[in-house]
């Protein structure tokens, strides 16, 4: 745990006692703060009480006496679509609003770093798509290369649950827009912007607010190196904003999975090959095509981002290539489960909307597509240009009928549940095809989460693989 510094003897309120909130409360207490905590969920309050925290209803004015700061959990809105009433209370009573990310950046560096040969570095990854895989990929590569590393944030553990930094260590954080919009301190050594597509728009008051939340990591964080995906206008804008006139555009590294980039320092992937170019000449190339853990153009963009981060740390291209090749894939994100009779089985349960499912479909030329669940706005109509990749669709969940209608003449079968869909797809698949779970829908009609849905797919596939 990282004890929070700067609040010893002060009263600090924590709103939201889920994973990050409870960890923040512990870290504040470890740093000597007096913690008052609240969550509308009685079970969360009971869990906090079991650890010695006394829940205090922060909707009452009396609770704010001497409170210096409110620590906000990611799911609680600070401004849009409307400020949470307790955030309004904090403003009224003169308390500042922060979150665990802000506490991390004010507390992680300590006095003993001056005695280290290589003080710890922090890499932060944000964007709409691919940030979890990129975070996990960088962490995997660091470990494979032999560098001490920890991973946290929107993936795995809360940031304040990390161990204090050691000599030569690299911390890799996945940060959502919910986390970057509130943090009062942002100080990454390396910051990565993957891409921007419409998401969480109600929470941020539209695309402008959504982009502004992510831009804070760069504009206010002031990273030594900014790695920026430039396949959307927002990324091109941010790269131009961060670029310096001298040194050919450093400290920016532009990345792309859709185009060759010229000028400055660039890493891009085309036709399955990753290329690094500096000052107009190619300095390295890696063949990504046979890396089973990184299928498709979207994963090639993830590889470009990870490669650029590792190069920023001084790692040689050949070492990066070996580390990338050993990456097994992140669970539920184009995860290869196994192969039988020339048929691969891939779990992309995280593809909960059409945009994410599109990337999965583009990764494979011929699929037996398992899809369905609780439909989102627009359904799968946007995927029509990719229907020619579908050998057959196997429909599950609430959206089976509506998705079937959109698929039209595409061969299809309504299976209802996952076990039936996997069994039917496996029985009919031909060598060279992929049985792909990319639901393009939420999981909540049949499952508690996309992870639970993915686990069910994996279990069904394992039964197929274990059969004679």
Residues at the annotated binding site?
127-133
User: How far is the C-alpha of 123 from the C-alpha of 127, rounded, in Å?
Assistant: 14
Longest Cα separation, the chain = 69
Q: How far is CA 414 from the centre of its chain?
A: 32
Edge-first strand listing for the sheet containing 11-15: 34-38, 11-15, 67-72, 96-98
83 CB burial (10 A radius; 0-12, 13-18, 19+) = middle
Q: Using DSSP bridges, classify how beta strands 412-416 and 390-396 pair: parallel, antiparallel or unpaired.
A: parallel
By the 8 A CB rule, do 27 and 33 touch? no
Q: Which residues are annotated as part of the binding site for ATP?
A: 127-133
Helices (H), 115-154: 131-145
Which value, in Å, is the radius of gyration of the alpha carbons in the chain?
A: 23
Please give the Cα distance from 4 to 158 (Å, whole number).
Answer: 13
Q: Which residue has the tokens 């686990």?
A: 455
Spatial separation of the C-alpha atoms in residues 428 and 434, rounded to whole Å: 11
Residue 42, class by beta-carbon neighbours within 10 Å (0-12 exposed, 13-18 middle, 19+ buried)?
Answer: exposed
Joined together, the tokens standing for residue 319 give 């070492």
Judge whether 399 and 333 are in contact, CB under 8 Å. Answer: no
316: which residues sit within 8 A by CB, 6+ positions away? none
Question: Cα 306 from chain centroid?
Answer: 13
Q: How far is CA 468 from CA 336, 393, 462, in A?
A: 20, 25, 12
Q: What is the C-alpha to C-alpha distance for residues 160 and 17, in angstroms, rounded to an integer?
A: 14
Question: Residues with Cβ < 8 Å from 205, sequence gap 6 or more?
Answer: 79, 80, 81
């Amino acid at each position: 745990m990282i004890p929070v510094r700067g609040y010893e003897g002060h009263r600090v309120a924590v709103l939201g006692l889920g994973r990050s909130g409870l960890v923040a409360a512990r870290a504040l207490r470890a740093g000597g703060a007096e913690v008052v905590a609240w969550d509308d969920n009685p079970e969360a309050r009971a869990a906090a009480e079991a650890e010695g925290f006394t829940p205090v209803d922060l909707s009452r004015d009396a609770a704010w006496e001497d409170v210096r700061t409110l620590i906000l959990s990611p799911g609680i809105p600070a401004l849009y679509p409307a400020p949470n009433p307790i955030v309004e209370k904090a403003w009224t009573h003169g308390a500042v609003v922060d979150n665990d990310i802000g506490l991390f950046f004010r507390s992680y560096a300590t006095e003993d770093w001056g005695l280290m040969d290589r003080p710890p570095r922090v890499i932060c990854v944000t964007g709409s798509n691919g940030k979890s895989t990129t975070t996990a990929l960088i962490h995997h590569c660091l470990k494979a290369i032999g560098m001490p590393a920890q991973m946290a944030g929107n993936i795995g553990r809360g940031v304040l649950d990390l161990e204090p930094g050691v000599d030569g260590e690299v911390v890799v954080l996945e940060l959502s827009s919910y986390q970057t919009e509130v943090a009062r301190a942002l100080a990454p050594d390396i910051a990565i912007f993957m891409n921007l597509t419409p998401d969480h728009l109600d929470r941020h008051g539209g695309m402008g607010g959504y982009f502004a939340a992510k831009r804070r990591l760069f504009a206010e964080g002031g990273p030594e190196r900014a790695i920026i995906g430039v396949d959307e206008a927002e990324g091109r804008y941010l790269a131009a904003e961060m670029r310096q006139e001298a040194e050919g555009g450093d400290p920016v590294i532009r990345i792309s999975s859709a185009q060759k980039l010229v000028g400055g320092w660039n890493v891009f992937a085309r036709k399955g090959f990753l290329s690094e170019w500096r000052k107009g000449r190619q300095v390295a190339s890696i063949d990504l095509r046979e890396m089973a853990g990184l299928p498709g153009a979207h994963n090639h963009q993830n590889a470009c981002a990870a490669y650029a981060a590792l190069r920023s740390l001084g790692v040689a291209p050949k070492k990066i290539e070996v580390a990338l090749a050993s990456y097994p894939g992140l669970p539920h994100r184009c995860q290869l489960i196994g192969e039988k009779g020339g048929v691969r089985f891939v779990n992309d349960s995280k593809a909960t909307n059409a945009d994410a499912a599109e990337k999965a479909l583009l990764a494979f030329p011929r699929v037996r597509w398992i899809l369905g669940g609780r439909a989102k706005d627009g359904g799968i109509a946007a995927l029509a240009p990719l229907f020619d990749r579908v050998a057959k669709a196997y429909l599950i969940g609430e959206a089976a009928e509506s998705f079937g209608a959109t698929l039209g003449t595409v061969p299809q079968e309504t299976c209802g549940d996952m076990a039936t869909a996997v069994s039917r797809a496996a029985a009919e698949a031909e060598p060279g095809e992929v049985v792909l779970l990319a639901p393009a829908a939420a999981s909540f009609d049949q499952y508690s989460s996309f992870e639970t849905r993915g686990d069910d797919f994996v279990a069904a596939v394992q039964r197929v693989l274990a059969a004679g």
